[in-house]
Structure 1
């Protein structure tokens, strides 16, 4: 029993280790290539969900525009893969169809470089989220206003991408990729490699959030969510605390989008708009935004539902999803992760009811000294 109590602070870390073994060792050896690709797609969405769990579950920020940052990473990766397919100094074929004589847009050219692409996947969301978050948090925009503004940004981004047909492919998006940093996507071994990279990034993001929860920053973020004015009274700037969490969540969304592209093979405005952002939030709400594993499992469950049920029953899938969230909101507002806490409390309550009343604690310190003196007298 004592050994279990010592391991309790590391229960989440042990859970991450078990989850890593299942994703990185068990799944590739047991699943078919079809399900490996699907699981890789779910892992990409789960990376986004981990960041949402940090910003929303820990920081209280309802980030309904994560599709924007998902799109930044996805289109950065897609642009590099498109140029890689076209060859050196060549123009992508879809651009030639619209204007054969027009040169390659200037902002496309740097994405020929692999290093620039990887840097853009990280730095673009940092810049965009930093500017947006600074403008909102410094003006103390929060709650429903923050959620509406972030969702409006997702809608505006999707409309912008749809309207720039020659530069981004418009509604049809970017697709037809053949290689990923030089590796052929038609090779099953390379598909497994991409899956393992995605699953490894998911585990790394979970470890980062686990460490942040235990750190002083995690405590300040939680305090900012529950009592922002008190945090400000203690000398901390809540805007900077929330901004940091918002930027971290944006980077995770961008990484998820970047890995989504080589796995699925296409990126369109439908994957970055308001509906996609709401679906990301839905997975986190289903699993439990305040826990570490809840957002991951919720995102994977939603991903499986969208891939499996939506394809076999497209008219009814949305109703199933709506009914599921009505039930969760009414009976499990903290998501499915709260089932464990409720069951644990119920078991503990039954044990307490059947046990004898606890003995009063032995006196210590000054009380023990006074009791000994009384006995001696």
Structure 2
């Protein structure tokens, strides 16, 4: 259900929205508004979701104590393995004919429509795939951290993911992975050392990367590599 429910919701939303040719900033605003509405809905379900505190009674997984070091190491390996499999799968998808169609829809949606393809269907399928991956990530997040609250589903975490992709490099799949690692490490390090101002430092990191490397860390690394070979 952690994957099926997001996929079903994404298919429904994508069918309704993309058929109306909603795109760009309007689609981004719509998804953020839905995230905020979902948070309000979950907070209202005090008995089911624990309200603002969320669900915290996660102590065991398949009979294993989540606080045990061996269990945490096992979860780490599982998460790393799933990440690797998803990365390879998405890389194969991007390099496939469907991936080229995605690029075509991104660069010229109207031209793709004139060639006989349905951009709404293409974007809906992609939206559903990404929702399934997000649901799987959420299912793995809960046993690792031991808590899930409505605050983790709102607008701020969504924007943090966008920032992570921008920092890593939105033109490469590896950039999303690298950006998540960098932003996660920065968030932990800044919050521990600068409890009162770590959000400003996190924002400064984003501005610094976007100013010096608009294509992210991956783009900067590629530029430096090309500079050395010339």
> Does 2:200 align with 1:319?
yes
Unmatched 5+ residue regions in structure 1?
Answer: 1-119, 351-377
In 1, Cα distance between equivalents of 2:71 and 2:212: 44
Give 2:6's aligned residue: 125
In the alignment of these two chains, the number of paired residues is 230
1:232 is displaced (CA, Å) by 0.9
> Does 2:39 align with 1:158?
yes
In 2, Cα distance between equivalents of 1:287 and 1:180: 33
Q: Using CA pairs under 8 Å that are at least 6 residues apart, name the structure with larger relative contact order, 1 or 2.
A: 1
Give 1:337's aligned residue: 218
In 1, Cα distance between equivalents of 2:169 and 2:181: 13
Give 1:266's aligned residue: 147
In 1, Cα distance between equivalents of 2:93 and 2:70: 35
Any conservation in 1 of the 2:65–2:71 contact (CA below 8 Å)?
yes
In 2, Cα distance between equivalents of 1:333 and 1:288: 8
Bigger shift: 138-147 or 238-247?
238-247
Task: Report 1:143-182 matches (<5 A).
Answer: 143-182=24-63
Give 1:245's aligned residue: 126
Give 2:75's aligned residue: 194
> Does 2:225 align with 1:225?
no
State TM-score, norm by structure 2: 0.95
In 2, Cα distance between equivalents of 1:223 and 1:233: 12
Any conservation in 1 of the 2:190–2:201 contact (CA below 8 Å)?
no
State TM-score, norm by structure 1: 0.59
Any conservation in 1 of the 2:54–2:150 contact (CA below 8 Å)?
yes
1:345 is displaced (CA, Å) by 3.4
In 2, Cα distance between equivalents of 1:272 and 1:148: 15
Give 2:190's aligned residue: 309
In 2, Cα distance between equivalents of 1:241 and 1:260: 29
Give 1:76's aligned residue: none
Give 1:87's aligned residue: none
CA RMSD between the two structures: 1.3
Per-residue CA deviations over 1:235-254 (Å, capped at 9, x if unaligned) read: 11111111111111111111
Per-residue CA deviations over 1:243-301 (Å, capped at 9, x if unaligned) read: 11111111111111111111111111111110111111111110011112111011111
Q: Which has the larger radius of gyration?
A: 1
Bigger shift: 296-305 or 307-316?
307-316
In 2, Cα distance between equivalents of 1:278 and 1:161: 19
Unmatched 5+ residue regions in structure 2?
Answer: none
In 2, Cα distance between equivalents of 1:321 and 1:174: 27
Change (3 A) 1:344 1:181: same
In 2, Cα distance between equivalents of 1:189 and 1:298: 28
